[in-house]
Amino acid sequence: MTSSVSPVPEPNAPVSPVSVTVDAVEHSVDFVRPRLRARAARRVALYAGVQINGAPHVGTNVMQTAAFLLAAAARDRLGVAAELRFGALDNAPHDTRVCPRTGTRYTRSYHHALGPARTEELVKRFYGGLFDALTALTGVPYTVETYTRQQHSPAFREEFLASLGRWEELRWTLAPSSGHVPISFPCPQCGWLQKAGEHTELLEAGERGARFAAVCLDHGRYETDVRPDGEAWLGLTTLHRNLVKERLADRDEAMPVIVKGADWAPGCRLLDEAFLCFPGAHPPARVFTPVVLSASGAKLSKSLMREGRAELSPGTPPWMLYATRWEGTAQRYAVTLHRLVSLMLSDPRHFERGYTTSELARMWTESETGRPA
């Protein structure tokens, strides 16, 4: 038994309520320790996402900075080698069309609209400077892999085929309201696909392959073969895609740690349930990071901003919504984020909560100047 001693608060620290993990968790990276011990792992790989459909907002950058700092904490506190693997979501829709006759929505992904070279440019432009600076500050190496590259690997396809093998159970964890989990494949001639896969038909499936039929707005019916060594591009729903990615990550010698914003907690509850559909499988270690909120308490959201419904706190600086509008250097941005997220990680009670943009602006000024705002 140890008695609970409140840590001395940092001068710029936020004021946070006691969290439910008080006395159980001293540092948020300790969430990783149970799986680490069970696996006797000596290396960890932290997985986080990279949005490429527009300039990131500060909430995305807070999550990514937290991933670097958590990796550094895993190395220093848990004594394991730690690296960071970012997944770039080039499957995000770039264009949308609606069939005038049936109302079916067709989309074309960033990958299909821009191709790999321009996608890579986007990743560099939005994240290159920040990630390189964070590597220099933390000593944590990182890699970025697009979804397109990742889904191309035979192991990814094997895990996708394995999910079809348990489909009757899985589809109700991945879509508990309807049991309907759309799968879609781009038209081989034009790259457009039915977003909700209304007309996708599974013709046959086995361990080594599956055959689907689908319909294109312009080119009619086509068939796609999915084999471990095949070329088909898999369009999966968010939860299904994450399940396959996490199952794939679990094959690696480095133990996977999934880092996501806290808004992901309900979805991860379903992913954990989906993991349990595989005999002997364990859900991966997960760490949730603080979400950045608008005035109403809703998470900062690109789509709400585009629709003009984001209800931002007064005085939210424009660069918090579009990181590319930051007028200082990438180095200064990274150093300030590093300080600010270190403050959040200084006590689990500051990490297991959300921050409005106005509170973040206050902490930002203090982190930049080292003085109270």
Binding interface with Zn ion (CB under 5 A): 187, 189-190, 216, 218-219
- Least distance in Å: CB of 257 to Zn ion? 40
* Residues 6 or more apart in contact with residue 69 via CB below 8 angstroms: 138, 338, 341, 342, 345
Residue among 216 and 259 whose Cβ is closer to Zn ion: 216
Identify which of residues 219 and 269 has a Cβ nearer to Zn ion in the complex: 219
Closest CA to 296 of 365, 360, 362, 358: 358
Closest contact distance (angstroms) between CB of 229 and Zn ion is: 24
Which residue number places its CB atom closest to Zn ion? 187
What is the separation of C-alpha 280 from the centre of its chain, rounded to a whole number of angstroms? 25
Measured from the CB of residue 220, what is the shortest distance to Zn ion in angstroms? 8
Distance of closest approach, residue 312 Cβ to Zn ion, in angstroms: 40
Please say which residue, 205 or 213, places its beta carbon nearer to Zn ion: 213
Ranges assigned E (strand) in 228-360: 235-236, 255-261, 285-289, 292-293, 355-356
Tell me the C-alpha distance between 86 and 143, whole Å: 6
Q: Which is nearer to Zn ion, 225 or 263 (CB)?
A: 225
220-226: strand order across its sheet: 201-206, 209-216, 220-226
Residue in 160, 206, 165 with CA at minimum distance from that of residue 183: 160
**Minimum distance from CB of 233 to Zn ion (Å)?**
13
Residue 11: CB atoms within 10 A of its CB come to 10
| CA dist list (Å): 82 to 38, 50, 61, 225, 329 | 17, 19, 20, 37, 27
Select 191 or 317, whichever has its Cβ closest to Zn ion.
Answer: 191
Q: Which among 347, 284, 336 is positioned nearest to 18, based on CA atoms? A: 347
- State the minimum distance, in angstroms, from the CB of residue 172 to Zn ion: 32
Cα 117 from Cα 125, distance rounded (Å): 12
C-beta of 102 vs 303, nearer to Zn ion: 102
- Which three-class secondary structure state does DSSP give residue 108? strand
Q: Which is nearer to Zn ion, 59 or 186 (CB)?
A: 186
Q: Using the minimum distance from each CB to Zn ion, give the nearer residue, 106 or 288.
A: 106
CB nearer to Zn ion: pick between 67 and 187: 187
Minimum CB–partner distance for residue 230 and Zn ion (Å): 19
Measured CA to CA, the distance from residue 5 to residue 7 in angstroms comes to 6
Q: How far is the CB of 276 from Zn ion (least distance, A)?
A: 39
**Residue 218 beta carbon to Zn ion: minimum distance, rounded to whole angstroms:** 5
Alpha-carbon gap, residue 203 to 334, rounded angstroms:
50
Q: What is the separation of C-alpha 367 from the centre of its chain, rounded to a whole number of angstroms?
A: 26
From residue 111, alpha-carbon distances to 52, 192, 290, 307 in Å are 10, 11, 30, 24
